A and B are shown apart, each in its own frame.
Chain A
Amino acid sequence: MGHLAYLLVLAGCLVCALWLEPVLKVNVLRRGRRLLLTLLPVVVVFVLWDLAAIAAGHWTFDPEQTTGILLPGGLPLDEVLFFVVVPVCAVLGFEAVRAVLRRPAGDGDE
Chain B
Amino acid sequence: MTYTVAALLGVVGAVLADLFVLRTRLVRRVVFWATYPIIIVFQLLSNGILTGRHIVIYDPAAIIGWRIAFAPVEDLFFGFAMVLLTLSVWVWLGRRGVQREPRAGEGSALLRLLRARSSDRAARGRVGEG
**Residues of chain A at the chain B interface (Cβ within 8 Å):** 5-6, 9-10, 12-13, 16-17, 23-28, 30-31, 33-35, 37-38, 41-42, 45-46, 49, 52-53, 56-62, 65-66, 83, 86-87, 89-91, 93-109
Contact = CB atoms under 8 A, between A and B. Distances in A.
B117 to A, nearest CB: 14
Given A16-B42, A101-B31, A38 B53 contact: no
Interface of B: 1-3, 6, 10, 24-26, 29-32, 34-35, 38-39, 42, 46, 49-50, 53-59, 62-63, 79, 82-83, 85-87, 89-95, 97-108, 110-111
Contacts of B104: 24-28, 95-96, 98-99
Say what secondary structure dominates the interface of chain A.
Answer: helix
13 contacts: A27-B106, A34-B98, A35-B90, A56-B1, A58-B59, A90-B39, A91-B87, A94-B31, A99-B108, A99-B111, A101-B34, A106-B24, A109-B103
B55 A6 contact: yes
Contacts, number: 177
A105 B89 contact: no
A106 B29 contact: yes
B31 A31 contact: no
A97 B98 contact: no
Contacts of B56: 59-62
Say what secondary structure dominates the interface of chain B.
Answer: helix
Given A49-B6, A59-B57, A106-B95, A87 B105 contact: no
